[in-house]
A and B are shown apart, each in its own frame.
Chain A
Amino acid sequence: MSRTRRTSPFVRASLQALLLVAVLLGRSEAASAWDPFGDETADAGPATPPDPAPYVIPEGVYLVTDVYVAAVVTTAGDTTTYSTTTMPETPGTYARVVDMVGTGGDSTFDGSSFNGRARLADGRAVAGTYYEDFVLTAGGLVSVNVVFFQDDSDTRQRAAGATAASGPEAPSSPDVPALPSGSSERTTGSLEPRAPDETPAPFAASASVALAPLGPSLDSIEVLRGRSVRLWLRATRDGVAIPVRTWRLVTGSTDLLSRREGGGADPCDAIWLTLPAPGSVWTLRFEVTSELAPGRTLMATIGVAVRSPALGE
């Protein structure tokens, strides 16, 4: 006699409950907390381009800390010295040595430097070094000019009529590499000291402030309190106006200023609300650079007297 096994109602209910739980678990999905901004469209904002890779200055190119001022020819007794004067200044440009030439030697850069290359009395070119100047732009270094630093001397022999051209000395500036000693050669024949005016003349450059793009340069101005004044930076080379490449306000106080730096086509709009102390003026000082005054950082200064309409008597 077979005996049918029957499950108790309790077991059957438990199995049904387990089956229900298993079904629910199988259909469940992960529950997340309510996101109050979930219905908003995602906006990552303007795409920020990755930072450009830092530009590596090529080897042999260095930051200029001494700039060319003038080529100088001096005569002491029988010796005529051809040298170059510099002044310590950091215009932010770069340079490299492109050629070093001895006395009478030819260079592929002859005629390409903006200051030329002097010649000895016998017609030979003086010794020295050619430098190429660069400005650093977003695209890298851009060549702007070539300058020749002369470094030579002649000594006239009274008795024998022979003249020795001594080797150039190393420039004192650490940024100006020394010429190799002995790069010049001995020579014979009568040499006359060269007149100073046969060397390229240094140019005079200056900067100033005007109240119009073509307005006259002004050392001081009067402005009404609260009135906007448009300042234009100007530059001149040997008295001739040249385009301004960049300008930057170095020192000075204004209450409202449109910009602290800009290009030659960008004016500087300023407003003064504060009156200076009685008898004094506000002074603005700008740094100005120009393509036609390479290696120079020109300074422009202007005094500003702030006035206000007032009753008299």
Chain B
Amino acid sequence: MRRDGGSAAVMVIVLLPFLLAVVTGVVQLGTVRVLASRVAAAADLAALAATDDQDQAELVRTGMLHLAPDATAVARRFFALNLAQIAEHLDVTPEAAAAEADVAAFPIAPAVDPLTGWRYDRPTVRIAASVPVRTPAFGMLLLPRTTLVSVRAASSAR
């Protein structure tokens, strides 16, 4: 009867890099998913903050809620502030990511968003952003070292 102990050791040595690559890829993929959730949360909260900033003068004049004139700027600013929590995982600065974001305000409802096709029945602030996050493990696997995380968020007072 032949002994196969040496064969198993060879197999492990041969397959170890592959196993390590698989494990690394899985861990990095999980990290990306977590980062994507945090970027999406940053966009959601920024849109909510912009909606919460209403035009007081218009409210006094009409009694109805109106988006503040600087709603898009508020949304962009809060998006950058929220991204700062994960700044070390971003390939750009939070301010740069927020500046690149497509932020739009739809003060008059109903309206249809030309970018997303969404229909808004209330004055809405929308953020669409693609944020590059670092994926160094993918780089070790000869994959791109950065991954674009695309998020869209819309908020209205309802």
Chain A contact residues, CB within 8 Å of chain B: 210-212, 215-216, 218-224, 307-313
Contact = CB atoms under 8 A, between A and B. Distances in A.
Contact of B63 (A220, A310, A311): A220
B18 interface: no
Contacts, number: 58
A210 to B, nearest CB: 8
Contacts of A309: 48, 51-52, 155-158
Majority SS at the chain B contact face:
mixed
B108 to A, nearest CB: 15
Interface string B75-119: 000000000000000000000000000000000000000001010
Interface of B: 44, 47-48, 51-52, 54, 59-65, 116, 118, 120, 124, 152-158
Given A211-B60, A309-B156, A311-B155, A224 B65 contact: yes
Nearest to A312: B154
A219 B62 CA distance: 10
Contact of B52 (A216, A221, A224, A312): A224
Contacts of A224: 52, 54, 65, 157
Given A312-B120, A313-B116, A211 B156 contact: no
A207 B155 CA distance: 36
B105 to A, nearest CB: 13
A44 B65 CA distance: 53
A224 B68 CA distance: 13
Nearest to B157: A307
B67 to A, nearest CB: 11
Given A221-B64, A224-B54, A310 B157 contact: yes
A286 to B, nearest CB: 16
8 contacts: A211-B59, A211-B60, A212-B60, A216-B61, A307-B158, A308-B157, A310-B48, A312-B124
Nearest to A212: B60
Contacts of A220: 63
Task: Indicate the member of A212, A220, A307, A309 with the most B CB atoms within 10 Å.
Answer: A309
A222 B154 CA distance: 20
A159 B47 CA distance: 87
Given A224-B52, A312-B124, A215 B60 contact: yes
A59 B71 CA distance: 66
Nearest to A216: B61
Contact of B61 (A215, A219, A307, A313): A215
A241 to B, nearest CB: 16
A220 B60 CA distance: 11
Contacts of A313: 116, 118, 152, 154
A67 B20 CA distance: 93
Contacts of B152: 313
A311 B65 contact: no
Interface centre among B44, B60, B120, B156 (most CB of A within 10 A): B60
A220 B44 CA distance: 30
Contacts of A210: 60
B157 A311 contact: no
Contact of A312 (B60, B61, B62, B156): B156
